[in-house]
Every structure is written in C-alpha cells, then in structure tokens.
Amino acid sequence: LQADDVESKIREIIPPGFCTNTDDFVSLLEKEVNFKPFGMLLHTYSIHNEEAGEDITYQIYKADMTCPGFREYHERLQTFLMWFIETASFIDVDDERWNYFLVFEKYNKDGATLFATVGYMTVYNYYVYPDKTRPRVSQMLILPPFQGEGHGAQLLETVHRYYMSSPTVLDITAEDPSENYVKLRDFVLVKLCQDLLCFSPVKLMQGFSQEMVTEAQQKLKINKQHTRRVYEILRLRATNMGDAEQSRSYRLDIKRRLIGPYKKKQRELAKMRRCLRPEEMTNQLNQIDLNMQREQLEESFQQLVSEYRRVLERLAQA
C-alpha cells in the first residue's frame, strides 16, 4: 500500500516551516524559554491543580497585529481551529477591527519563567450608527489539555470587563454561538448581573422590566435578549418551586415568552382559514395542532429549567 501524502494536506492549513521530524521539533522547544506573551496584560488568575498539588497561574492578554511577531504567531495559532471546530475558518488579519484575546499558563522550569498557550478569542468590532460599536465574538478555543478547568469563563468575563469600560460600545454579541458557548455565556452573564440592584430578589419577583434592560446594557454591555435570559435564571434562584403559587407564576412568565413563535403560527393559520375551504381546516385538525403546541411548550419549559439549574449549580460552586 502507498502511504497517503499527509504533508500536502497539512500545507493547505499550516504556514510553511513546520517540522517533519521529532529531532527538529525538540530542538525548537529549547527556544520556548525566550517566548513572551503579546500585547497588554488584562487579567491574572490562579487555578488549583490537584495533580500538581499547587495553584497554577494564568494570564490573559489583549493583542493586535501591531505587536512584533504576533502576526506569525497567530498564523500558527489559528490552525488549531481546523482540528477542533467543525465550521472554523481563517479571518482577515489585515482588518483593523479585529481584537485578539489570549490565555497563557505561566510556569517556572529550571529557574526560567515560561508561558504555554491555553487558548484565545477573536472579536470583531461592528459599527453601530451613529457613534457606537458592537463587539461580536467570532472564534473561541480553549486547547484540549486545559478544557474543563474554567478558562473559558475567565476569558469571556475578562473580555466583557474590557469592553464595559468603553463608552462607545453598545453591547456584546456572538457569531453563530454553539450550545456550549451559550451555556458558558449564561454562567458569565449571570455572575456579572447578580449583584445589580435591578436583579434583587424583590424586583425579580415583580417580573422582567425595562430597568433590567437599561442597567444591564449601560453597565455590562448586555443586550435585551441576553438580559431576559439572565432574568429567568436569577428568578428561578429566587423562586421557591415547592410553593404552588410561586411555581405557577414562574412557569407562566417563562411560557409567555416561549409562546411567541406559536402565536405567530396561529396568525399564519388564521390567514390560511381565509384562503382554504372549511373542510380543509377542520376543528379536529386545529385541536390536534393545539395539543401538540401545548406539549412542545411544556417540553421547552422543562428543558430551559434544567439548563438554568445547571447554571445556578455552577454559580454556587464558583
């Protein structure tokens, strides 16, 4: 059998100069002692490592293409997207509206301070008329050896805090977020919002309000849709689900939001009734449709509550 030409496929993704044998790779590792993170240090944090029996230090930096050597580093770094994110694609690094946020592990070896790449995020700054920007998270990757340790939450919260200080930022969004990213965002935004006065237990029980929308956007750069989700999670925490009245009030509040698409479908059915013959729109068909909608609505509600409980469990452990 003839071996596949693996290198030709790799050349389509990885920049020229990659190693093709172990000896060359090991010799290059010796130069890692000279590596220093790019850009401006935003945040330093520690995570206890059970295996090592000590706290490991990590740092988050903001970089751009004006940093010497960063362009070449990013060309190699972004190739990891192709191995771990199914719909990944490379970005136009010549567009100055991109921001880059990088996570590094800081450790000591043989008396030298070294840095290992943990992950990174790219954010594109969209223009919003007349004088605002809307940062949109495009790509986010924590490398497999570091996943499950809380680095994604640290990175996303740091990025939010970075943009919160800018008066020209309207709010922060994400491009085609994955299910895992939505869970991560829920945790981070709830953590940020829980201390705002508008999310006090008393106000949560009074229902979703414009005050929540305004304060979350002005102070934390969170849009209305995400604020509503934060409200629902925090109200669940403030609700005694063992109390019939509180449980019913919470369930109806959530379902009033969830029922929006079903009401739209009912409006479409109403238009069809005006166009179709009566025998084509029988009462029996309508009843089956309504029953199905009720089942789907209850299923959606139970799924949401399950997701919200996981966020609250993680928040309690943070």
**Has 149 been annotated as catalytic?**
no
Q: Give the pLDDT confidence of 91-132 residue by residue, as tens digits.
A: 999 999 999 999 999 999 888 899 999 999 999 999 999 999
Rounded Cα–Cα distance for residues 188 and 218 (Å) = 17
Rounded Cα–Cα distance for residues 289 and 291 (Å) = 5
Residues 6 or more apart whose Cβ sits within 8 Å of residue 158: 42, 43, 60, 101
Percent of the chain past pLDDT 90, that is, above it, reads 72
Residues 6 or more apart whose Cβ sits within 8 Å of residue 250: 235, 236, 239, 241
The pTM of the full predicted model, rounded to 2 decimals, is 0.88
Q: Which residue spans of the chain are classified as CATH 3.40.630.30? A: 6-176
- 62 exposed, middle or buried (CB, 10 Å; 0-12, 13-18, 19+)? buried
Q: Give the pLDDT confidence of 203-224 residue by residue, as tens digits.
A: 999 999 999 999 999 999 999 9
Give 142's Cβ-side CA count (13 Å radius).
Answer: 18
Residue 169 DSSP label: B
Q: Is the dihedral of CA 18, 23, 24, 30 positive or negative?
A: positive
Residue 285 has pLDDT above 60, yes or no: no
CATH architecture of 187-317: Orthogonal Bundle (1.10)
Catalytic residue among 7, 32, 96, 175: 175
Q: Give the pLDDT confidence of 225-270 residue by residue, as tens digits.
A: 999 999 999 999 999 999 999 999 999 999 999 987 665 555 655 6
Q: Which residue spans of the chain are classified as CATH 1.10.10.390? A: 187-317
Q: What is the pLDDT of residue 262?
A: 60
Q: What is the pLDDT of residue 274?
A: 64
Please list the alpha-helical segments (H only) found in the chain.
Answer: 6-11, 22-29, 70-77, 80-84, 151-164, 179-193, 201-204, 210-220, 224-238, 244-258, 260-275, 283-317
Q: What is the pLDDT of residue 189?
A: 98
Count the Cβ atoms, other than its own, within 10 Å of residue 28. 11
Q: Give the pLDDT confidence of 16-71 residue by residue, as tens digits.
A: 888 888 999 999 888 888 999 999 999 999 998 888 788 999 999 999 999 999 99
Nearest to 74 by CA among 53, 57, 97, 98: 98
Q: How far is CA 43 from the centre of its chain?
A: 18
CATH architecture of 6-176: 3-Layer(aba) Sandwich (3.40)
Biggest alpha carbon–alpha carbon distance for the chain: 85
Whether 208 and 229 have beta carbons less than 8 Å apart is answered as no
- 17 exposed, middle or buried (CB, 10 Å; 0-12, 13-18, 19+)? exposed
